[in-house]
Structure 1
Amino acid sequence: MITRVVRRATASVALLLSVMLAVSACSAPDEAGGDGGPVQVNTPQGPVTIEHTPKRIVTLGAQWTDTALAFGVTPVAYLDQAAMLGGTPAPWVGVKLERSTPLAMDNLVAEIAKAKPDLILAEGFMATAQPETFAKIRELAPTIPGVSGQQVDKWADLVTLFGTVTHRTGLAKEIIDRVNGKISQVKADLPGLKGKAYALAYMFSSDQIQVMADPNDAAGLLFTELGMKVAPKIAAAYAAQRQPRFPISTENVPLLESDFLAITAQTDALRTELRKLPGYANLSAVRDGAVANLSVAEITGLNQPSPLSIPYLLDQMRPELERAANSE
């Protein structure tokens, strides 16, 4: 569901980040292209002031990249671990980043410097999990390290913040309303989803599967809005250990028992292995044909939802969601 680098980092940051970030505009008229007034963003690392409407934005993470693209803004450079892992951009991104420079973790600070950014948007874990790198990055330009204390930010919060710092609050509202409208339509079309259980899982090795467990996590909110709930056995494990995401051994596949399952594996070989795991064929979602077999990029789009990934994935998963809604 997340890359190994991000998985290790976010596992620790959940215990360290607890303060919701407050975004306050000193002067934020709705301007599509003007300089606008300064905007201050209050973060656990201190206030970040953006003096003018940013023109050269670097995005460190798929959520921020998707958010920028939703506004029609192409970042000058971007870091996308899921694309590096899967080898191709997410399908909802397509060719939109052809004129942007992809970044890699190796020599990251120097590569960001080459892009000459006037704003850097980073994932929240970076400031705490990679403090030395973050300290160097923030010297290059005003840097915002996420917008919340959760492992994954809510997509609407990112849209709101991006609209504020770019002085396009009206467009931000339009984007949020459009995505929420899509979610509401699916809920109205499939009332049978109410009360159904779901599981999100990513088999990243031959002996471990990563699961999402927190119903209040940004990844879980989409399904909560559809009236669904976390798979009971995963919810029980979360109640005991309070880890929003955690690995389970492949022998514990029955924990994935649910009405709807969104799942992927790191490689084609692991996908084949997954289907042969003891207990997998007996899962209700498997028997009912309610398994959305997603790519690494697609499962990342669920795990780190964005205004671009949500509409795409709701369409992509529609047949399996319909089967889950109609299951007994």
Structure 2
Amino acid sequence: MPRTIRRRPAPALVALLVATTALLAACGGGDDAADEGTAAAPAAEDGTVTVTHAYGETEVAVGPERVVSLDTQWTDVLLALDAPPAGYAADPTLEGGTYPWRGAGLGASEPIDVGRGASLSIPYEAVAALQPDLIVVSFGVQSESDYERLSAIAPTIPLLGDEEVDAWQDMAEVAGRVLGDEEAAADLVADAEAEAAAVREALPGLEGATVALANYVPGDAIYVVADPDDGSSTLFSQLGLEITPTILDRADGATGRVELSLENLDLLDSDVLVLFTNGADPGDIPGYANLPAVRSGAVATLDYADVTGLNTPTPLSIPWSLERIRPALEAAAGGGG
């Protein structure tokens, strides 16, 4: 089956998780994106900041009081900065519509029904009803017309860069400037990155090892993150891991995720395999038992919430995700920890 690279996938798809359809969706952090202009300029004398993004620029008044988040990463960044949104996109796949690492942080926030699968869409009327003074959305905006329609409700920050998933560090930098607390944002980034640094120090055998983050859709194919600059690669890069070269070769420099037919399963020849199976048994795939990571025990088979925390990593999901992939990391590193 020829490769498929998807840019700007629908939110449920880019989450590299949706069981009923197909796909899901190392950034170096905020500095790289800032160098490319995908960041917030310093506050102007009139108390505004200008955020550069995929569709141009948005001027935002510093200290918005009612932020509506239609993006998992943005919601977590706001929570981590003690600025919970007035409304947030609920995930209908999960009981309660939210992720376990958030705890009760969204108790006072209004969940927004964004649908699921083929019916997933931006609920413009529900967003407008919350009377936001800022909307953050990332890849949920599929076109400039979507962005303009949201911008007619309130200033809107869509995807910051050109990748399918923004690095959460870039979001934190922008959030710090928009909220008027750059120091808190910098501390947040430092603390979260220290989590990965501690694992890397404890498991030096990971240095230079390869990794594949994959979504197995039974009866269809396997979709694998194939972009070192994508936000979903950030954590793995900080651990000293690299995307397996066979996947990079198949992607051929394109941005996004690569589609592998089950006949090409041998391309998953990574040292670490992180796999979402949509409830299926990967052992039923011919050749699965012969994969290097399977033979060494360096496989993390995750559920929907767990893999969301890796595919769209955030300062809140990183500790949760690291705990769940730690056994696979230790196996690949030759023990330790």
TM over 0.5: yes
1:244 to 256, 265, 278: 256
- Are residues 38 and 243 of structure 1, via their aligned partners in 2, closer, same or farther at CA, if it must alter by over 3 Å? closer
> 2:57 is matched by which residue type in structure 1?
P
Structure 1 residue 308 displacement after superposition = 1.1
Which residue pairs with 2:247 in the alignment?
Answer: 234
Which residue pairs with 2:5 in the alignment?
Answer: none
Which residue pairs with 1:255 in the alignment?
Answer: 267
- Are residues 6 and 181 of structure 1, via their aligned partners in 2, closer, same or farther at CA, if it must alter by over 3 Å? closer
Which residue pairs with 2:48 in the alignment?
Answer: 38
- Runs of 4+ aligned structure 1 residues displaced above 6 Å come to 5-11
Task: Say which is worse superposed, 102-111 or 315-324, in terms of deviation.
Answer: 102-111
- Equivalent pair of 2:86/2:130 in contact (CA under 8 Å): yes
Q: Any stretches of 5+ residues in structure 1 without a counterpart? A: 12-18, 29-35
- Are residues 134 and 297 of structure 1, via their aligned partners in 2, closer, same or farther at CA, if it must alter by over 3 Å? same
- Are residues 74 and 286 of structure 1, via their aligned partners in 2, closer, same or farther at CA, if it must alter by over 3 Å? same
- Equivalent pair of 2:227/2:256 in contact (CA under 8 Å): yes
- Equivalent pair of 1:76/1:100 in contact (CA under 8 Å): yes
Which residue pairs with 1:32 in the alignment?
Answer: none
Cα distance in 2 for partners of 1:210, 1:100 equals 33
Deviation per CA, 1:150-209: give whole Å up to 9, x if none. Answer: 211111111111010000111011101101111111111000001211110012342211
Cα distance in 2 for partners of 1:58, 1:205 equals 35
Q: Specify the SS of the correspondent of 2:132.
A: coil
Structure 1 residue 5 displacement after superposition = 7.0
Please list, as runs of the form range in 1=range in 2, the aligned pairs for 1:103-114 lying within 5 A after superposition. Answer: 103-105=112-114, 108-114=123-129
Deviation per CA, 1:224-277: give whole Å up to 9, x if none. Answer: 222212123212212x252421221223222212111111122x2xx22x2210
Which residue pairs with 1:300 in the alignment?
Answer: 308
Cα distance in 2 for partners of 1:314, 1:5 equals 21
**% same residue:** 35
Q: Any stretches of 5+ residues in structure 2 without a counterpart? A: 1-8, 17-21, 26-35, 115-120
Cα distance in 1 for partners of 2:255, 2:177 equals 32
Which residue pairs with 2:59 in the alignment?
Answer: 49
Structure 1 residue 124 displacement after superposition = 4.1
> 1:295 is matched by which residue type in structure 2?
D
Cα distance in 2 for partners of 1:168, 1:26 equals 11
Structure 1 residue 27 displacement after superposition = 4.0
Task: Say which is worse superposed, 223-232 or 188-197, in terms of deviation.
Answer: 223-232
Structure 1 residue 20 displacement after superposition = 4.4
Deviation per CA, 1:63-91: give whole Å up to 9, x if none. Answer: 111111111121111125xx323445222
Which residue pairs with 2:143 in the alignment?
Answer: 130
- Equivalent pair of 1:21/1:149 in contact (CA under 8 Å): no
- Equivalent pair of 2:300/2:325 in contact (CA under 8 Å): yes
Which residue pairs with 2:207 in the alignment?
Answer: 194
Q: Specify the SS of the correspondent of 2:57.
A: strand
Cα distance in 2 for partners of 1:10, 1:230 equals 16
TM-score (norm 1): 0.85
Cα distance in 2 for partners of 1:179, 1:40 equals 26
Q: Specify the SS of the correspondent of 2:101.
A: coil
1:23 aligns with 2:40: yes
1:287 to 290, 295, 309: 295
- Equivalent pair of 1:68/1:75 in contact (CA under 8 Å): yes
Deviation per CA, 1:212-233: give whole Å up to 9, x if none. Answer: 0112222122222222121232
- Are residues 247 and 23 of structure 1, via their aligned partners in 2, closer, same or farther at CA, if it must alter by over 3 Å? same
- Equivalent pair of 1:124/1:148 in contact (CA under 8 Å): no
- Are residues 148 and 5 of structure 1, via their aligned partners in 2, closer, same or farther at CA, if it must alter by over 3 Å? closer
Q: Specify the SS of the correspondent of 1:3.
A: helix
Cα distance in 2 for partners of 1:316, 1:295 equals 10
Cα distance in 1 for partners of 2:140, 2:123 equals 16
Which residue pairs with 2:322 in the alignment?
Answer: 314
Which residue pairs with 2:163 in the alignment?
Answer: 150
TM-score (norm 2): 0.83
Larger relative CO (CA 8 A, sep 6+): 1 or 2? 2
- Equivalent pair of 1:59/1:79 in contact (CA under 8 Å): yes
- Are residues 253 and 107 of structure 1, via their aligned partners in 2, closer, same or farther at CA, if it must alter by over 3 Å? closer
> 2:73 is matched by which residue type in structure 1?
Q
